[in-house]
Structure 1
Amino acid sequence: MTCYGLLGGMAVSGALEWPVAVAVGAATEVITREQAARKRAEQAGRQPGTEPSARTEAAQQTAMA
């Protein structure tokens, strides 16, 4: 969380352009969420990336209807 405050401070002070700060913050959030999802999948005994996506599940439900 400190990372976001630091990025915001750098953007406000002009040490970093705001689009760069937003991109770095967004990338950090995506990576953090992906790592957490992989960790949860490993703890549950599943391989990461083998869970069906919401799009796949919706298509299956539509096909069944």
Structure 2
Amino acid sequence: MDSLYLLIPLSVGLVLAILAVFGWALHGGQFEDLESEAERILTEDDRALDADQASDPGAREQSHV
């Protein structure tokens, strides 16, 4: 029973801390645009690879050796 006097306030404090971090993430715009970052990583590598191949077309064949 004595442990409940410690565990209940700790659990309430933990829940409040989690809610505060979640609210901070919402207010900071963390969840505003979920689609563009997921799509950006798919298109970004192709552009960098195309630029490397244009400057040195034989580099890709040599890297697999």
Question: What TM bracket, shorter-length normalisation?
Answer: 0.3 to 0.5
Largest Rg, 1 or 2: 2
With structure 1 as the length reference, what TM-score do the two structures score? 0.44
With structure 2 as the length reference, what TM-score do the two structures score? 0.44
